[in-house]
Structure 1
């Protein structure tokens, strides 16, 4: 199923991939931004290509092509910060990750515009997620919602130092059974890449809102440091060097780990006793 900006690839496996930030479509607002490049800079670059192998697993994929600079479908629509006291961006961001103004003359998005964009893009995206979750739950007692993300490895405004390559978020264990996070962590730990569970990125609105392990919906966010799968510049990025192109050979080592991760997610969902034990563990913590 495809619309002008929303695509849904339906599969039968108990795994749903969400791609909320891989889009770069500015929806006609180009002239209002400082530059189209700046408005697209913080996209989750090439995520759809990186996870291209997932269709062979018969997974479901929900993806928006709308840029997060227009509206971020992974933010709380109430405006509440997902990381109180930490720098972050809003539902309709006014700044980049680095704190630079997105709009000319430091303009802001009006409440009426925010509401319009929410109705046009945010609500349909989450309606699609809910619909696919319900469809898969009719087939499977347990499913995994896996939220796909990436980010530059160094953004001092958001985090200190260099981000691990694999950043696994489960809202501090609330969005999935421990058995699932254990399986994902084990897959990452067996690689040559660095990883962390519930570090700087614990999962955004999608993970926190839709993850309901007691109801058979186990959500996990995977935030990848870009250097793991593209030749990320070591210094400042500019239109001349960013985004780095996608090279499958360069991405292959990390992609191989992701293949294992998604395989473990499906394996987890298909083992009812394993899942239920994990839920009981979570409830007793």
Structure 2
């Protein structure tokens, strides 16, 4: 897959293509319906498949002081789109130039003059251009030479699959439900840093994560069954997200993962943590022995869930 980060970088002379335009945060089941249609049209007509997305969330342009919570960063989206077989990803900055374009200007200058688009695939709530004017009906009315395709919303358990719904699930700690909507486990990543090393004194050493992307949504405080990837290997364990109220009065957020049957020194290494299920809320215990007892129960619970997952798979 060819990736371009700016319209001026495009060094391929397009004569035809099928495209979809959007943020595609999370690349969830709803997005997959759109992308599968793009790939179907690409194969049927022997034309390139193109995803036009943005390197930054439009909200960061219109309201730069507002916090951004995303399900996927550009690197993650790039990996997933490449694995799907998309030919070109154009991930441009959402800046004053893009924000100023009307739907007519966006379609004419980018989709037609630059990319020679013959087919556009829209999601159920997909728009582009100023005031979200660019839509299937708009293209049908103003650019009849472009074929348009609209994909209906994906519904699961009587809920429309959307990035906002998935964010709500993750914010509530419902990571297993989020995984169903995403069709993969939600994950965060970062560098392993030194903590206060208290865990190893109570038999539960942890890998402490410093997030590599501050915009990634962090699941609700609590203890989770997780799968971690370090140095090309995967390890199951338990991850605590919170402020460790039994240990300290500090409100500093900590993300700490205890890896089962693991003894390597890994400070400074990159870690990716996938959230498989939620074990419990974070809570304050009356004593360290009470905390240790609970951690032992958590580990038993986690390994029982793992056994169920392995049996189901």
Q: Identify, as 1 or 2, the structure richer in strand.
A: 2
Do the two structures share a fold, i.e. TM-score over 0.5? Answer: no
TM-score when normalising by structure 1: 0.31
Q: Which has the higher contact order (CA 8 A, sep 6+)?
A: 1
Larger radius of gyration between Structure 1 and Structure 2: 2
